[in-house]
């Protein structure tokens, strides 16, 4: 199937482009960006012109920041194209709901992707936890915004999510591996005095079985990056590291370690191809609901200014 990629930034170049190129399902036949391009692929700076001139493109994959994403997604759906959304799928829950309604009305596929759910050991962690008695689950997600979003001031503007841009990855794993739903009980949002979105956050959740569930997110980590989830159960302790790429049970590793985002985006594009073929929609918004609740319920603390 022919596919267009919109927004040629770091994540598109590093993950989307090579995943499409390696896939038997897709041919990248157009890009839309104000700045970036992909060698050998027709490049457009006008989205509507790309749609008009390429009626054979069935699918549009959107790698734009969250705030402008709704407008592009709605235009693509109204033009009869299936749509794949980079995480988070939008800037608000309401606009995501509107996109789903539009896709259903048009008979089109819509996919809110959560790439961290495709990390190598996430499914194994879900299976292990399915019949366990959870006592505590602790998420530690610390990374360097300067490394992953160099100079991207939009991430600290309204709608940019701040530290929840990576934090929502952790929440996407948690909402997949836990066998029961949880909801936010309290949050602390640490916001630089010169920014609009948090650079760090601490979250506490209510668990129906009484387990302690807590998350610590920080965008100021230097040196080694930390992406871990530890689940302490009556039957043993599970530890996910490398963002879900490695799993330990009671300190013993299970399988080989997959680092970085290895395998995650190829699996997302395979899932999108399956959705298009069967006419399906996947718009699970549970990770985004937790973030929205944190902004609703969280206590704000002002911290030192931050500049790239």
152-210 pLDDT, tens per residue? 999 999 999 999 999 999 999 999 999 999 999 999 999 999 999 999 999 999 999 99
Q: Name 303's Cβ contacts closer than 8 Å, sequence gap at least 6.
A: 190, 191, 192, 193, 199, 200
Asked, as a colleague might, if the bond just before 301 is cis with ω within 30 of 0, I would say: no
Tens digit of each residue's pLDDT (9 = 90 or more) over 243-258: 999 999 999 999 876 6
Tens digit of each residue's pLDDT (9 = 90 or more) over 40-95: 999 999 999 999 999 999 999 999 999 999 999 999 999 999 999 999 999 999 99
Tens digit of each residue's pLDDT (9 = 90 or more) over 203-226: 999 999 999 999 999 999 999 999
Q: How many CB atoms lie within 10 A of CB 271?
A: 17
Tens digit of each residue's pLDDT (9 = 90 or more) over 266-304: 999 999 999 999 999 999 999 999 999 999 999 999 999
Q: Which of 131, 124, 127, 81 is nearest to 102 (CA)?
A: 81
Q: What share of the chain is helix, strand, coil (3-state, %, to 5)?
A: 35, 30, 35
Q: What is the pLDDT of residue 258?
A: 64
Helices (H), the chain: 10-11, 17-22, 47-53, 66-78, 93-106, 122-129, 145-148, 164-177, 264-278, 286-297
Domain 2-112 and domain 116-256+292-303 have a common topology: no
DSSP H or E stretch at residue 153? none
Strands 59-62 and 246-249: unpaired
Structurally, at CATH architecture level, domain 2-112 sits in 3-Layer(aba) Sandwich (3.40)
Count the residues in the chain. 308
How much is the pTM? Answer: 0.95
Catalytic residues: 87
Question: By the 8 A CB rule, do 146 and 92 touch?
Answer: no
Structurally, at CATH architecture level, domain 116-256+292-303 sits in 2-Layer Sandwich (3.30)
Kindly list the domain boundaries of the chain, sorted by start residue.
2-112, 116-256+292-303
Q: Which of 113, 103, 59, 119 is nearest to 244 (CA)?
A: 119
């Amino acid at each position: 199937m022919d596919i267009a990629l919109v927004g040629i930034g770091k994540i598109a170049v590093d993950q989307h482009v090579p995943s499409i190129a390696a896939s038997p399902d897709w041919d990248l036949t157009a890009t839309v960006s104000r700045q970036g391009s992909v060698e050998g692929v027709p490049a457009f700076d006008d989205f509507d012109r790309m749609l008009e001139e390429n009626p054979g493109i069935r699918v549009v994959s959107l790698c734009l920041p969250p705030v402008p994403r709704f407008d592009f997604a709605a235009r693509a759906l109204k033009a009869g194209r299936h749509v794949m959304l980079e995480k988070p799928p939008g800037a608000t829950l309401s606009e995501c709901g509107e996109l789903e309604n539009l896709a259903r009305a048009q008979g089109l596929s819509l996919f809110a992707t959560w790439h961290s759910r495709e990390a190598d050991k996430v499914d194994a962690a879900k299976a292990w936890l399915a019949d366990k008695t959870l006592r505590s689950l602790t998420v530690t997600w610390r990374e360097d915004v300067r490394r992953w979003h160099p100079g991207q001031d939009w991430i600290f503007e309204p709608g940019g999510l701040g530290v929840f841009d990576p934090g929502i990855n952790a929440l996407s794993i948690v909402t997949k591996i836990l066998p029961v739903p949880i909801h936010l009980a309290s949050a602390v949002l640490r916001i630089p005095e010169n920014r609009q979105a948090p650079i760090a956050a601490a979250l506490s959740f209510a668990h129906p079985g009484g387990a302690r569930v807590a998350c610590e997110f920080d965008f100021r980590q230097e040196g080694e990056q930390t992406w871990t989830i530890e689940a302490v159960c009556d039957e043993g302790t599970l530890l996910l590291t490398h963002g879900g790429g490695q799993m330990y049970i009671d300190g013993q590793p299970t399988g080989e370690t997959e680092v970085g985002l290895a395998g995650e985006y190829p699996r997302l594009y395979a899932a999108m191809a399956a959705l298009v073929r069967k006419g399906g929609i996947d718009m699970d918004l549970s990770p985004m609901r937790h973030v929205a609740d944190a902004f609703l319920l969280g206590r704000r603390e002002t911290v030192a200014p931050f500049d790239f």
